Structure 1
Amino acid sequence: MKLSQLRNFLAVAEMGSVRAAARHLGLAQPVVSRGLQELERELDVSLFERNARGVTLTAMGVRLLDRARTIQNEMRRAQEDIAQLRGGTEGTLNVCLSTVPHIALLPYALKTFRQRYPDVQLDVLDGVFPAAEAKLKNGELDCYVGPAPEQPPGSDLVVEKLFDNTRVVLCRRGHPLSKARSLADLQGAEWISTTVTFKPEEEFAPLFEQHGLPVPRLVMRAHSALTYITTIAYSDFLAMLPVQWAEFEITRNALDIIRVKEVLPAPPICIVRRGDLPLTPAAQYFCDMIRRAGIHLEQERTRRSGRQA
């Protein structure tokens, strides 16, 4: 099995046709076709079903796809690893960040990272752990920063806690419930849930049941920060989001906090990465800057608490 064969296989799988793959790779179509045929003969299976519109993966092709992506990602990472160890500043960094690190950690970490690695191309996926898990395992992502996974992800991934977190209830300016002071006062309200839990109701049920309250009515599940902001600002929906939302300039000036008396815990913020292979120097430096940003955030929070006391 040759790397060029796997490269051609991946291109055809992702582009949906041999012609599009050849154009993408800058190769002649017969060269790509011949490479696929050689790979299928070597494996003694059909990897694609051919049809008038192009090709689709067979069951065997789907099985090979993840392994081929892992091999390609590790080859790229190996080249970048050696180049950066020799002092190079080029490469790629693929990370997944939830909203909290976007708001509270990335602004602090990005400037220093760019000074150290000005030629590294950053590719940032916005999401929580379920969106990142498979990509971490096959090497598409270098790391994930966000709420800790609901369940331990297995020995192949390392979870490092950065800090514990809490949530606040957010609403639009002038909301009729803005003066409420307990979760009990919010009964009857309509809520937005996030994707931090596998099922929407699991995000609220334990907390409300702990206080002897029925699970609130969930009318919407949001998958992006933009959805949270626009929906909360232009409706009577409520959301329970990490406290960093209330401290972020954009949302602080657009939304109000409903200051309920109950403590609203949130999953700790963590870094998740593969445990079987080291990070590239650029990825390691990025994680170091994220750790430093987390320490800075905690120090600022402590100082604010001291002034309020």
Structure 2
Amino acid sequence: MNTVRDFLAVAERGSVRAASRQLGVAQPAMTRSIHELEKELGTELFERSARGVTLTAMGEVFRRRAQALRSEMRRAQDEIDQLKGRRNGHLRICMSSAAHMALFPGALRPFRQRFPDVDLEVIDAVLPRVERELIDGTIDFYVGPSSDEPTGELIVEKLFDNERVVLARRGHPLAGARSLAELTGAEWITTSVTHRAEDELTPLFYSRGLPAPRIVVQAHSALTFFFTVAYSDMLMMLPLQWEHSEPFAGLLTRIDVGETLQAPPIAIVRRAALPLTPAGEYFCDMIRRAAIHRRSFMDPA
């Protein structure tokens, strides 16, 4: 495992010297470790230059496997510790903006009470941005919109169906529009829950005989969504949770088009091959509980 550790440190830092300082390992020992690994694999993993090192094509392939191995070793240690009754470890998850708003507050407090010493790393993104990391195990699980069916590599567990709304800045000249047809001249910002940005809006407009919307910004951060919409004339179609979220509602307004704008369901997506750690499974349980509470609130009947 030391050779894998050394390889990843060099790959991440871009030089043997920097990796040696990071790990507190003598530089000659680090160099020997890399050479031994390359000899064992029968291929060069790095291209050397005066400015440092870069991964070869084979090095990139090995890096993905090495990251997955490191993640699994960490996860195995966490699982053993947690099964022994310890509450330490690390959990790396990804949540979309809608999942943050609808589910994260209800899950965080009980999780912290149960696992106070687990370090929680949370990424704000949608599934296409992290799918590879889910599959290789460097992310434990994802919560957010998923239009994908379960596959051999990933399990998709639907939590609830969702809708979208069109949001604009306060005082937007199109604020009084009552149909998508009245928005055909607008500029749009989008983030896609598929692998192509235009897939989020274009089919919706085409299905109503309208020209494709003009997408001028593709973003991957909730803050980018907010600041772009709040301080420009661009529009965005976002999950309805945005309309009522306190940090954003004061500067955004809903354009109440008559069409129903379905959104991909909110789901938990995780690897099929291996179980989560006890901490990971408990966090998912708290997400499920928050989703049930949300459904009860939205439909009290």
| TM-score, normalized by the shorter chain, greater than 0.5 | yes
Indicate the residue corresponding to 1:243 in structure 2: 240
Question: Normalized against structure 1, the TM-score is what?
Answer: 0.94
The answer to whether residue 216 in structure 2 is matched with residue 219 in structure 1 is: yes
**Structure 1 counterpart of 2:91, which letter?**
L
Cα distance in 2 for partners of 1:155, 1:39 equals 31
- Given candidates 38, 47, 50, the residue that maps to 1:52 is 50
Q: How far is the alpha carbon of 1:238 from its aligned partner?
A: 1.2
Q: Deviations over 1:256-297 (max 9, x none)?
A: 111111100101111111111110000000111111111111
1:192 match: secondary structure: strand
Aligned residue among 287, 292, 296 for 1:295: 292
With over 3 angstroms needed to count, the CA separation of the structure-2 counterparts of 1:39 and 1:201, relative to structure 1, is closer
Give the Cα separation in 1 of the matches to 2:132 and 2:230.
Answer: 34
Q: For 1:27 and 1:74, locate their aligned partners in 2 and report how far apart those are by CA, in whole Å.
A: 24
Q: Which moved more, 1:29-38 or 1:118-127?
A: 29-38
Distance 2:17 2:124 in 1: 32
Question: How far off is 1:166 after superposition?
Answer: 0.4
Report how many aligned residue pairs link the two structures.
301
Determine what percentage of the aligned residue pairs are the same residue.
57
Whole-Å separation in 2 of the counterparts to 1:227 and 1:107 = 21
Shift of 1:139: 1.2
Match of 1:199 in 2: 196
Provide the TM-score with structure 2 as the length reference: 0.96
Give the SS at the match of 2:99.
Answer: helix
Whole-Å Cα distance in 1 between the matches of residues 106 and 68 of structure 2?
A: 31
Does the alignment pair 1:142 with 2:119?
no
Q: 1:37 to 1:89 in 2, by over 3 A?
A: same
Deviation at 1:185, TM superposition (A): 2.1
Query: Aligned pair 1:189/2:179, yes or no?
Result: no
**Equivalent position of 1:83 in the other structure:** 81
What SS does the aligned partner of 1:88 have?
coil
Q: 1:44: how far off?
A: 2.4
Aligned to 1:112: 110
CA RMSD of aligned residues (A): 1.4
Q: Which amino acid aligns with 1:119?
A: D
Q: CA deviation at 1:59?
A: 2.3
Q: 1:273 aligns to what?
A: 270
1:264 is matched with which residue?
Answer: 261
Corresponding residue number in structure 1 for 2:69: 71
User: Within the alignment, does 1:128 sit opposite 2:126 as a pair?
Assistant: yes
Partner of 2:156: 159
4+ runs deviating over 6 angstroms: none
Residue 250 of structure 2 is aligned with which of 250, 253, 256? 253
- 5+ residue gaps, structure 2: none
CA distance in 2 between counterparts of 1:63 and 1:179 reads 53
Work out which of the residue numbers 186, 192, 207 in structure 2 matches 1:210.
207
The match for 1:25 among 7, 23, 26 is: 23
Instruction: Name the structure 1 match of 2:98.
Output: 100
Measure the CA separation in 1 of the matches of 2:181 and 2:39: 67
Unaligned runs of 5+ in 1: none
Deviation (angstroms), 1:153: 6.3
Work out which of the residue numbers 3, 6, 29 in structure 1 matches 2:4. 6
> Hey, what's the Cα distance between the residues in 1 that align with 2:38 and 2:184?
61
SS at match of 1:212: coil
For residues 65 and 216 of structure 1, what CA distance do their matches in structure 2 show?
A: 40
- Is the contact between residue 78 and residue 277 of structure 2 (CA under 8 Å) also seen in structure 1? yes
Mapped to 2, the partners of 1:245 and 1:21 lie a distance apart of 43
The residue type equivalent to 1:21 in the other structure is A
